[in-house]
Amino acid sequence: MKAALLSARRIAFSDPARGATVGTHFVKVIEALGIKEQVMQKAIVAPDGVETMRLVVEKKADLGVSQMSEIVQASRDALVGPFPKEFDLSTTFALWHRTDVSPAARNFAAMLTSTAGHEKLTAEGFR
């Protein structure tokens, strides 16, 4: 990963100053790798993950750092994969509902928690 980041001409990621989780985490990763200064010299700081991926797809950046689900939405072929385990950052989402929720909401929850739902989420870049 370090070699890839150092060899890229332009690297896009979302703006940590705007509170972007990905951008904030990426800055910590390049600090830990000892390459923050080199990477920041060729950084394209985008307002969000969607813009980050647009920059990569339009060949304005060699590499983009974003959430896997955003990358898959932009271009499945562009997905390299998650960061190495020691730099991985994951977010856990939870779905809950009241016992008197509508049948549509109950069906949605059942679909998400089913095997088919898990397969669909995985295909869309969620782990």
2-87 falls under which CATH superfamily? Answer: Periplasmic binding protein-like II (3.40.190.10)
Q: Which pLDDT tens digit goes with each residue over 40-66?
A: 999 999 998 889 988 998 999 999 998
Closest CA to 31 of 5, 8, 64, 63: 5
pLDDT-derived band at 102, boundaries 50, 70, 90? confident
Please classify residue 74 by burial: count the beta carbons closer than 10 Å to its beta carbon, then call 0-12 exposed, 13-18 middle and 19+ buried: buried
Q: Which pLDDT tens digit goes with each residue over 9-33?
A: 999 999 999 888 889 999 999 999 9
Give the span between the Cα atoms of 16 and 35, in whole angstroms.
17
User: Which of helix, strand or coil describes residue 113?
Assistant: helix
Task: Give span(s): CATH 3.40.190.10, the chain.
Answer: 2-87
pTM over 0.85: no
77 Cα distance to chain centroid: 15
Average pLDDT score over the chain: 85
